[in-house]
Chains A and B, each alone.
Chain A
Amino acid sequence: MAKSSEPSTTVWDRFLRLAHWVLAVSVTIALVTGFFGGLPRLWLHLIVGVAALVTLILRLIWGFTGPSSARFISFWPTPRGVLAHLKSEDGRHLGHNPLGALMVFTFLGTIAALAVSGALSLGGVYKIGPFAADGFALGDLAGEAHELLAIAMVALIAAHLGGVIFESLRHRENLARSMVTGNKPSRAGDITPLVRRANIVLTVILALLVLAGGSAGLVGLAKRPIAGMPVATAPLVAEECGACHMAYPASLLPAASWQHLVAGLDDHFGEDASLDADTTAKISQWLSAHAAENADTLPAHAFVTPAPSAVGQITATPGWQALHKDIAPETFKRAPIYTRANCLACHKDAEGGRFSPLALSIPALPTSSPN
Chain B
Amino acid sequence: MKHRYLACFLAPSVLLAIATTPALAQDTSPAAQIEAFSLEAGRAADAEAGKAFFLASHSGGKPDTPSCTTCHTMDPTKGGQARTGKPIEPMASSVNPARFTDSAKITKWFRRNCNSVLGRECTAGEKADVLAWLNSL
Q: Footprint of B on A, CB under 8 Å?
A: 231, 234-237, 239, 244-246, 255, 266-267, 270-275, 282, 285-286, 288-290, 293-294, 335-339, 341-342, 345
Residues A294 and B3 in contact, CB atoms below 8 Å apart: yes
In the complex, B64 has a CB within 8 A of chain A: yes
Residues A339 and B84 in contact, CB atoms below 8 Å apart: yes
Residues A244 and B84 in contact, CB atoms below 8 Å apart: yes
On chain B, which size bracket covers the interface? 20 to 34
In the complex, B73 has a CB within 8 A of chain A: no
Q: Which chain B residues numbered 1 to 25 have a C-beta less than 8 Å away from chain A?
A: 3-4, 6-7, 10-11, 14-15, 17-19, 21, 24
Residues B85 and A337 in contact, CB atoms below 8 Å apart: yes
Residues A294 and B63 in contact, CB atoms below 8 Å apart: no
Q: Which chain B residues numbered 65 to 100 have a C-beta less than 8 Å away from chain A?
A: 65, 81-86
Q: How far is the CB of A214 from chain B (nearest CB, A)?
A: 35
Q: How far is the CA of A286 from the CA of B21 in the complex (A)?
A: 14
Q: How far is the CB of A240 from chain B (nearest CB, A)?
A: 9
Q: How far is the CA of A246 from the CA of B82 in the complex (A)?
A: 11
CB nearest to B11 among chain A residues: A289
Q: Which chain B residues numbered 23 to 38 have a C-beta less than 8 Å away from chain A?
A: 24
In the complex, B111 has a CB within 8 A of chain A: yes
Q: How far is the CA of A266 from the CA of B61 in the complex (A)?
A: 12
In the complex, B115 has a CB within 8 A of chain A: yes
Residues B108 and A275 in contact, CB atoms below 8 Å apart: yes
Q: How far is the CB of B13 from chain A (nearest CB, A)?
A: 9
Given contacts A244-B83, A285-B10, A293-B3, 18 further A-B contacts (CB under 8 A): A234-B14, A235-B19, A236-B21, A239-B24, A245-B84, A255-B3, A270-B65, A270-B116, A272-B62, A272-B111, A272-B115, A275-B108, A282-B14, A290-B11, A294-B3, A337-B85, A342-B85, A345-B85
Among A255, A270, A285, A341, the residue within 8 A (CB) of B14 is A285
CB nearest to B15 among chain A residues: A234
Q: How far is the CA of A286 from the CA of B63 in the complex (A)?
A: 31
For B11, the chain A residues whose CB sits under 8 A away are 231, 289-290
Q: How far is the CB of B4 from chain A (nearest CB, A)?
A: 6
